[in-house]
């Protein structure tokens, strides 16, 4: 197993699988030559609500009106805000 694949399994990276069984590692999770700070913590919380990794990708990239996407908030250092949002979303998904 490659280091990248291991990182995907350990939620240090978001890995998503396509319908034709190809594993992708979306570029949005990288910033300034590394993984966006806090991503692992956010993914761990999201996993508690659903195993759907495409749903996690949507959570990170789709903003509510008037807000910026969560992945942008992470890049700007607003980890606590994103963790709170992830907890609320995961709880809603799990209910």
Per-residue pLDDT of the chain (95 residues; tens, 9 = 90+): 899 999 999 999 999 999 999 999 999 999 999 999 999 999 999 999 999 999 999 999 999 999 999 999 999 999 999 999 999 999 999 99
Q: What is the pLDDT of residues 17-41, one digit of tens each?
A: 999 999 999 999 999 999 999 999 9
Instruction: Say what the pTM is.
Output: 0.94
CA-CA distances (angstroms) from residue 43 to 20, 37, 65?
Answer: 24, 12, 23
For 71, the token pair is 């992945």
- What confidence score (pLDDT) does residue 1 get? 83
Radius of gyration of the chain (CA): 13
- What confidence score (pLDDT) does residue 82 get? 98
Element (H, E) at 35: strand 34-35
């Amino acid at each position: 197993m490659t280091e990248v694949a291991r990182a995907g399994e350990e939620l240090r990276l978001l890995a998503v699988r396509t319908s034709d069984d190809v594993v992708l590692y979306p570029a949005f999770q990288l910033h300034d030559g590394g993984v966006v700070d806090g991503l692992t913590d956010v993914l761990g919380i999201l996993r508690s609500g659903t195993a759907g990794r495409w749903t996690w990708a949507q959570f990170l990239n789709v903003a509510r009106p008037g807000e910026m996407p969560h992945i942008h908030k992470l890049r700007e250092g607003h980890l606590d805000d994103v963790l709170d949002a992830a907890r609320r979303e995961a709880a809603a998904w799990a209910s």
